[in-house]
Amino acid sequence: MCFPRLQCDTAEALKALFDTLWAGPRYLLLLGGACPPVTALLARSLPALNLLQVSFEAPPPNLSNRKWYGHLFSTAPSARQVNLAAVRLLQRYRWRRIGLLTQERAELTEMRKDLSRQLLKTDIELAASESFSEDACSSLKRLKDEDVRIIVAQLEDGSVTEVFCCAYRLDLFGPRYQWIVAAGGPSGWRLGWRPSACSANSLLTAADGSFRLQVRQLSAANTPGVSGRTAQNYLETYLAQEGSGVSPLHAFAYDAVWVAARALVQVTEAAKLSGRPGSPRNVSEEEELKMLLEAVRNTQFEGVTGPVSFRNGERMTVIELVQFQGDSGVLVGEFSTTSQQVRIRDQLLRFKGPGPAKDRTQVHLRRRHVSLVLYAVVSSAAAGTIFITLVLLCVVVFSHRRWLLRSGGSSRDELLLLGLLLSSSSVLCSGLDRTSLPDRTLEVLCSVRLWTLSLGHTMGFTALFTNTWKVYSLCRVEPEHQTHLQQTGRLQLWILLLDLFVLTSWQILDPLRWLVLQHGSEEYLAEQDVVIRPCSEGCSSTKLDLWLTAVYAYKAPLLGLGCFLAWNIRAAVSGKLLALSMFSLAAFSAAAASAALLLSGRPAVSFCLCSILILSCNLFILTGLFGPQIYCMLWSSAGLQQTSELQDKAAGGEGVDRLARVNQDLRSQSAQLDVQIETISMELSEMLQEETGGRLGSLTSAHEALVCEEKPSGVDNINSPEHVRRRLSFQLPILHHAYLPVIGGVSSSSSSLFSTPHQPDHLLHT
């Protein structure tokens, strides 16, 4: 069948085909099809028309479905094979990140889609895909913005000059970039044959080192093929006949004619051998078409383009890999469509840099960690704090009754000390990394650190908050409501349960993992194209920010409420140290949380600063709340020991005269104190009878009033009956408890508020 030149007009091509089929005779084979749109339309109709088509144009990738296009064969390899060659080349040099630049043409658009599908089956990332019709520079600018280093260009030969001119102007060439032109055409390099805004030297500089994948046009073998000619003899004959009008598809058209001729001859001979001499029309159309398909599939001969054979309807051939060096192209490798492997001649390669370009800027991680010396120093401080806390806890537990009398009846000191102990222990779980422990152990330590720090903070805050609340209720709340407000046991339980609920949910739903965390700050080495990025190891989870927000959301308001209560009791006698402890806990907590968030990229500084803040807060609370009580206990014990030694010396007969004088002085002081006590008691009794009708307040109420007593605002109310009653109700027991036991006289249990002076026989006997 022979049709005139139809300019790729689909309608005209279909009309010519059907007119020819209608006019007859019946045709078996359609030769040609150099127009992809017409070929795609006809190929789908071939089974219905009982025709077979042998083409010499590379079929587009969308015609690769053999169920639909099983009657189409081409002596030129398809664009899918060129894309496969590009993928194998990328895998050979381990390029895992590329950019794609495609000219807007129908066949190149299909080629781009096929390449994208093939890249999805590999581990190669398509970082950016751009297309252009007129202005290639804007598309290249977007590729540069994406920091694409390996660029695969699918272009027509006429656009290569424009693209490399834009690459030169945008500085997209040199040792950092690699170009791969994968158009699939059989023609060679034609760089600079069209006018451009760049000089010839600029174009050669931009294209130097780039690759081009092209179909082999002529066989390299010198042996005669099926036509009896070598490839060189055929080319000389063709050029002598055609002159300068050389088509790049002439060799594939020549081999296509031989494929059709051999297949028709084979079918004719098969019909003769079938026992039906004469015309092959005795064979049915279906049998003829089946034999013709089988003959084309099994075609195998040496053509001018190389060995001609088909696999799944596609031509098996070689795709050449040409590198542009200087002002010419050098064949440095080839891709065999039969073995689907690429072979490179490394000795012929020449790259602009020391080796192949890198597909991205190399990132070198610089690990930041806590030094062993720093960890040892901070851990020693934490161990010292833990030891002090344990000693105080033992004192409170084993001297419980005496401690309660000294501390005013508080039963939350054990909880406070336990919280300080846990928070100090969390420092020991920080600062470790993979150089000292395995990953599994580090993940366990992540959870241990979270629980000890959070529960320790909650216990310590709960103890301080309940003590502050009790003092606040005594000072600021009406007496009839104090009993109800001072029941703080439920408050402690609810705060602890809330903390346990959040920690348990965190541990179950999103447990902490030991990860390598990369940080934003980096250092770029332009000469080596290397970015040095700091990294650190630490505990993290998928939704770490969400969990931290949940923890801060309920702890921050509680700390604010605690500071509010502490501010209101700051002027109370027993509330000063308590208020300072609450303020310090809130301040150190806020500082430690801020340091952990802001200094997450510097683990050594973060570990040191957070540990110092935690330990300083614990030591401040220990010193402020427990230091005075321990000092009083030691001073009291020393006074009792001194009195015991004095009695032992008196019993031994030493210093009798001196002890007698001391005893006489103490008797006089005791007698004077008794007289003063009796006088003040009588005055107080008369004053109370006048003001309150003779009722005397209890010692507990007077003590609570003294605890909440603030500095008077003036001088006139100092000697008011209420102030006198408060002072005396608290001072009278002190006089008996403090003075008489020291001098060895009456015990505190036998004293009375309004008793007469004691007899001399209760004093120290000599």
What CATH number is given to the structural domain containing 180?
A: 3.40.50.2300
Q: How far is CA 213 from the centre of its chain?
A: 40
Answer whether residue 299 is part of any domain.
no
Answer whether residue 425 is part of any domain.
yes
pLDDT band at 128 (very low <50, low <70, confident <90, very high): very high
The answer to whether residues 334 and 205 belong to one domain is yes
Q: Give yes or no for residue 749 having a pLDDT over 50.
A: no
Mean pLDDT of the chain, nearest integer: 78
Pairing of strands 300-303, 306-311: antiparallel
Q: Give yes or no for residue 740 having a pLDDT over 70.
A: no
Per-residue three-class SS string for 267-313: HHHHHHHCCCCCCHHHCCHHHHHHHHHHHHHCCEEEECCEEEEEECC
Convert the pLDDT of each residue in 693-714 to its tens digit: 444 344 444 444 444 444 444 4
Pairing of strands 72-74, 52-55: parallel
Answer whether residue 41 is part of any domain.
yes
- In sequence order, which residues have a C-beta less than 8 Å from that of residue 591 and are 6 or more positions away? 613
Q: What are phi and psi of 301, to 5 degrees?
A: -160, 170
CA separation (Å) from 345 to 271, 317, 320, 334? 49, 19, 12, 9
Rounded to whole angstroms, the Cα distance separating 127 from 150 reads 10
- In sequence order, which residues have a C-beta less than 8 Å from that of residue 320 and are 6 or more positions away? 213, 214, 215, 216, 331, 333, 334, 335
The answer to whether residues 565 and 616 belong to one domain is yes
Rounded to whole angstroms, the Cα distance separating 743 from 746 reads 9
Q: Give yes or no for residue 563 having a pLDDT over 80.
A: yes
Mean pLDDT of 105-134: 89
Rounded to whole angstroms, the Cα distance separating 217 from 235 reads 11
The answer to whether residues 408 and 535 belong to one domain is yes
The answer to whether residues 585 and 711 belong to one domain is no
- Domain end call among 45, 72, 99: 72
Rounded to whole angstroms, the Cα distance separating 545 from 547 reads 6
Q: Give yes or no for residue 766 having a pLDDT over 50.
A: no
- State both tokens at 534: 């700091």
The answer to whether residues 38 and 169 belong to one domain is no
- State both tokens at 354: 């020391």
Single-letter amino acid code for the residue at 114: D
Of the candidates 304, 312, 301, the one whose C-alpha atom is nearest the C-alpha of residue 338 is: 312
Convert the pLDDT of each residue in 420-453 to its tens digit: 999 999 999 888 887 778 888 888 999 999 999 9
Q: Give yes or no for residue 14 having a pLDDT over 80.
A: no
Convert the pLDDT of each residue in 622-646 to its tens digit: 988 887 777 776 666 555 455 555 4
Answer whether residue 260 is part of any domain.
no
pLDDT at res. 646:
46
DSSP 62: G
pLDDT at res. 141:
93
3-class DSSP state of 530: strand
The answer to whether residues 451 and 402 belong to one domain is yes
Single-letter amino acid code for the residue at 188: G
- State both tokens at 718: 């100092």
pLDDT at res. 185:
60
- State both tokens at 344: 């490179």
Q: Which of 373-382, 392-401, 539-548 has the lowest mean pLDDT?
A: 392-401
CB atoms under 10 Å from CB of 603, counted, come to 22
Of the candidates 123, 168, 125, 124, the one whose C-alpha atom is nearest the C-alpha of residue 146 is: 125
DSSP conformation letters of 24-35: S----EEE----
Asked if 135 and 164 count as a contact pair (C-beta separation under 8 A), the reply is no
The answer to whether residues 597 and 452 belong to one domain is yes
DSSP 198: S
pLDDT at res. 720:
53
- The label of the residue with tokens 């299909």 reads 110
- Domain end call among 72, 88, 106: 72
Higher local confidence (pLDDT), 244 or 198: 198
Q: Which of 108-117, 510-519, 682-691 has the lowest mean pLDDT?
A: 682-691
Q: What is the CATH number of the domain that holds 566?
A: 1.20.1070.10
Asked if 133 and 139 count as a contact pair (C-beta separation under 8 A), the reply is no
The answer to whether residues 490 and 606 belong to one domain is yes
Asked if 267 and 296 count as a contact pair (C-beta separation under 8 A), the reply is no
Rounded to whole angstroms, the Cα distance separating 625 from 571 reads 16
The answer to whether residues 434 and 486 belong to one domain is yes
Mean pLDDT of 449-470: 90
CA separation (Å) from 627 to 623, 632, 723? 5, 9, 30
Higher local confidence (pLDDT), 675 or 32: 32
Single-letter amino acid code for the residue at 729: S
- Domain end call among 52, 72, 92: 72
Rounded to whole angstroms, the Cα distance separating 255 from 274 reads 29
Domain of 33 in residue numbering reads as: 10-72
The answer to whether residues 346 and 213 belong to one domain is yes
Q: Give yes or no for residue 403 having a pLDDT over 80.
A: no
Answer whether residue 2 is part of any domain.
no
Rounded to whole angstroms, the Cα distance separating 225 from 183 reads 28
3-class DSSP state of 158: helix
Rounded to whole angstroms, the Cα distance separating 520 from 523 reads 10
The domain total for the chain is: 4
278: left (phi over 0), alpha (psi -120 to 50) or beta: left
Rounded to whole angstroms, the Cα distance separating 696 from 684 reads 9
Answer whether residue 326 is part of any domain.
yes
- In sequence order, which residues have a C-beta less than 8 Å from that of residue 720 and are 6 or more positions away? none
Answer whether residue 250 is part of any domain.
no
Answer whether residue 630 is part of any domain.
no
The answer to whether residues 527 and 435 belong to one domain is yes
Q: What are phi and psi of 100, to 5 degrees?
A: -120, 130
The answer to whether residues 690 and 586 belong to one domain is no
Convert the pLDDT of each residue in 43-53 to its tens digit: 888 888 888 88
- Based on its alpha-carbon atoms, the radius of gyration of the chain, rounded to whole angstroms, reads 50
pLDDT band at 479 (very low <50, low <70, confident <90, very high): low
pLDDT band at 199 (very low <50, low <70, confident <90, very high): confident
Greatest mean pLDDT range, 109-123, 266-280, 525-539: 109-123
pLDDT band at 495 (very low <50, low <70, confident <90, very high): confident
DSSP conformation letters of 550-607: HHHHHHHHHHHHHHHHHHHTTTSTTTHHHHHHHHHHHHHHHHHHHHHHHTTT-HHHHH
Report cis status (omega within 30 of 0) of the bond before 25: yes
Pairing of strands 211-215, 178-181: parallel
pLDDT at res. 9:
73
Q: Give yes or no for residue 763 having a pLDDT over 50.
A: no
- In sequence order, which residues have a C-beta less than 8 Å from that of residue 523 and are 6 or more positions away? 531, 532
- In sequence order, which residues have a C-beta less than 8 Å from that of residue 481 and are 6 or more positions away? 473
